[in-house]
Structure 1
Amino acid sequence: MHRGKFGRAVVALAVIGVAGCGASDSGSGAASPGNGTEVTRVTVGIIPIVDVAPLYLGEKKGFFSRRGLDLEMVGAQGGAAIVPGVVSGQFQFGFSNTTSLMIAQARGVPVKSVVNGAATNGRIGADVTGVAVRKDSPVKSAKDLAGRTVAVNTLRNIGDTTVRESVRRDGGDPSEVEFVEIPFDQMPAALDDGRVDAAWMGEPAKTIAEAQGARVVASPFAETDPRLTVATYFTATKLVRENPSLVKKFTEAMTESLRYASEHPDEARRILTTYTKISGDVLDDLTLPSWPTRVDMASLEKLASLGEKDGIFGGKRPDVDALFS
């Protein structure tokens, strides 16, 4: 967790501990509430960030319980950590950035995306992620990142792939960027202390850094594609095969949640206080992603091509249609 001093802007992402649950590998653990309706316990591996607000909002609004689903959310550092939990049956569903899912599939891991998670809002300079530098930094735009250190939360993943694309599009040499791995919540301090020249931050870290005077010099998601599908909810192909009814219920409830969050952004913003510890000034200022109900296949093909160029798939291009459609 973040240990820097930011005054009122301090944030500690709440990692929800794994509680003992009775769900089986196929998500068939059930309980009977007072009305006699069978309820299925469903464990979802998530990253406790802004992007998953619709999931929590949908739970609060009853979109899952009306379909007989009792959700338990379990926090993790990133999609790469959630994938093994889903495949092993620890989680019935998981939230992951789309590059992590492509990497998994290219390596033969049996996963399947089932519903959209989050997308860029398409606003350069005001997207849900951005590359930030200190106020006094000589870096003025993405091309100036060449020859400098840039923090990302996970190496060889969606962060460095899209940052390279921003540098490339701005006329710089992406091969000269040095990436270092730092958790999102520690990035504002790392940037402020001068341990890195720049940091690719998600929310709320980006807003915290900006409150300290940091400047956003690139918006890699929006610059890669203004409709880029950033993350989705996924499951193991085994669950799709063995319990299609459960997958259908989760997908329907999540789709309703995405639609509701898009139509009620203030409620989506407020739900963040239930699974993160964000001060009021940060909550008011942070940027929300877009929450479309459908993935954008063209943007995912572009992301796959960039990942292939970076060599992160081990020489085997992922089958985007099989994974996301």
Structure 2
Amino acid sequence: MRKTAIAVIAAAMTAVLATGCGGDPAGKDADGLTSVKVGIVPFTPNAVLFHAIEGGIFEKHGLKVSTVSAAAPTPIVAAMVSGQQQFGFVTTPVLLNVNAEGTAVKCVTPVDGQISKERDASALVASPKSGITDIKALTGRKVAVVQLSSINLIGAKKLAEEAGATNIEWVAIPFPQMPQALADGRVDGAVITSPYLETALAAGAKALAHPSSDLWPGGTIYCYGATDRYLKENPDVAKKFRDAMIEAIEFGKNNEAEIKKTLEKYLKLSPEEAQKQILPTNYLPELNVASIGDIQNVMEQQGAIKKKVNPEDVVWTPQG
């Protein structure tokens, strides 16, 4: 699980040494805005970021932000390490693992807030062809997750252990491919997120649990991060990015319909589909350090991390 991630990051480190990348290569444009690229895994919670772009919040803070899509967080980390992207989406397990392996990456801001206890955009579901109605029945079955070091895997494995399910075969499948894999019966279950979750449920998949909100309500299960090197070289840019995201998160609390409209453009959803999406957030723009430690404890129990790190060391705080 860790070897693939380590290999990807190691290759990125080689690129850094070869090119000398570290700061923001784009600099400022004609309008005096600092250009930055943000790596994302396209899914519903990015609506806050999309609104900050479309609504002019980043421009207000002196930034010109563009996004680059990836299938999972690990290649995003590699792109940040190589200097191709300045900020990027990272799940807490990936964040902890890359730091444990010596690549210093820190959370800069929440994606959309903390995970809501009442609503979750992701779920552990069973294929309509599997006949499975509870987690224990996943014993001996094949279950898809987006990446074999993801928050989805950590949470689903924890719930499976608590339910007494054993010998589950976990396989990596990108989110957009999961609905068809479930419908075809190529996998018996999946941990899938919006907008792909709604497609799977409409085709007959059965929701068994919501791992993230069931286990870590109010927690930080993912964030937008940056390398420690970039943060030390560009603290002003990082603060602008953080301040803009905080403003966008706080705006979203009372204007959810407006930020969902951005999903039409960025996720290619119809207006009706966009408004039906679940944003799994309490809209509190703080990183929950304690929850990062809780997730790390589960990872240690599962043998999913080589050594523990101090959760406070993986969260960036602006100075002054």
Q: TM bucket by the smaller chain?
A: 0.7 to 0.9
What SS does the corresponding residue of 1:30 show, helix, strand or coil? Answer: coil
Give, in whole Å, the separation in 2 of the partners of 1:280 and 1:211: 18
Structure 1 runs not aligned, ≥5 long: 1-23
Residue 236 of structure 1: which of 218, 227, 244 is its match?
A: 227
Alignment-derived partner of residue 153 in structure 2: 160
Instruction: Note the 1:52-71 alignment, pairs <5 A.
Output: 52-71=46-65
Alignment-derived partner of residue 143 in structure 2: 150
Residue 190 of structure 2: which of 183, 199, 207 is its match?
A: 199
Q: Which segment drifts farther, 274-283 or 241-250?
A: 274-283
What SS does the corresponding residue of 1:217 show, helix, strand or coil? Answer: strand
1:221-257 CA distances to partner (integer Å, 9 max, x unpaired)?
A: 1121222212111111112211211111111011111
What SS does the corresponding residue of 2:181 show, helix, strand or coil? Answer: helix
Give, in whole Å, the separation in 2 of the partners of 1:292 and 1:207: 25
What SS does the corresponding residue of 2:89 show, helix, strand or coil? Answer: strand
Letter in 1 for 2:205: A
Alignment-derived partner of residue 202 in structure 2: 211
Give, in whole Å, the separation in 1 of the partners of 2:230 and 2:198: 38
Contact 2:290 2:311 in 1 (8 A): no
Contact 1:208 1:282 in 2 (8 A): no
Letter in 1 for 2:41: I
What SS does the corresponding residue of 1:31 show, helix, strand or coil? Answer: coil
Contact 2:122 2:197 in 1 (8 A): yes
Contact 2:129 2:183 in 1 (8 A): no
Letter in 2 for 1:300: I
After TM superposition, give the deviation of residue 284 of structure 1 in Å: 3.6
Letter in 1 for 2:293: E
| Corresponding position: 1:83 with 2:95 | no
1:126-154 CA distances to partner (integer Å, 9 max, x unpaired)?
A: 52110112346432222222221111010
1:60-100 CA distances to partner (integer Å, 9 max, x unpaired)?
A: 22211112111111111111110011111111111111111
State the identity as a percent.
Answer: 31
Structure 2 runs not aligned, ≥5 long: 1-20
Contact 1:133 1:199 in 2 (8 A): yes
Give, in whole Å, the separation in 1 of the partners of 2:188 and 2:169: 10
What SS does the corresponding residue of 1:234 show, helix, strand or coil? Answer: strand
Give, in whole Å, the separation in 2 of the partners of 1:245 and 1:50: 28
Alignment-derived partner of residue 261 in structure 1: 252
Give, in whole Å, the separation in 2 of the partners of 1:134 and 1:84: 33
Instruction: Note the 1:1-325 alignment, pairs <5 A.
Output: 25-27=22-24, 29-33=27-31, 38-118=32-112, 119-123=114-118, 126-135=119-128, 137-169=130-162, 171-173=163-165, 175-290=166-281, 291-314=283-306, 316-324=307-315
What SS does the corresponding residue of 1:235 show, helix, strand or coil? Answer: strand
After TM superposition, give the deviation of residue 281 of structure 1 in Å: 4.6
Contact 1:107 1:313 in 2 (8 A): no
What SS does the corresponding residue of 1:57 show, helix, strand or coil? Answer: helix
Q: Which segment drifts farther, 129-138 or 191-200?
A: 129-138
Give, in whole Å, the separation in 2 of the partners of 1:307 and 1:75: 27
Give, in whole Å, the separation in 1 of the partners of 2:93 and 2:199: 26
Give, in whole Å, the separation in 1 of the partners of 2:80 and 2:175: 23
What SS does the corresponding residue of 1:312 show, helix, strand or coil? Answer: coil
Give, in whole Å, the separation in 2 of the partners of 1:161 and 1:143: 16
Give, in whole Å, the separation in 2 of the partners of 1:280 and 1:245: 37
Give, in whole Å, the separation in 2 of the partners of 1:136 and 1:46: 32
RMSD: 1.7
TM-score of the two chains, using structure 1 as the length reference: 0.85
After TM superposition, give the deviation of residue 52 of structure 1 in Å: 1.2
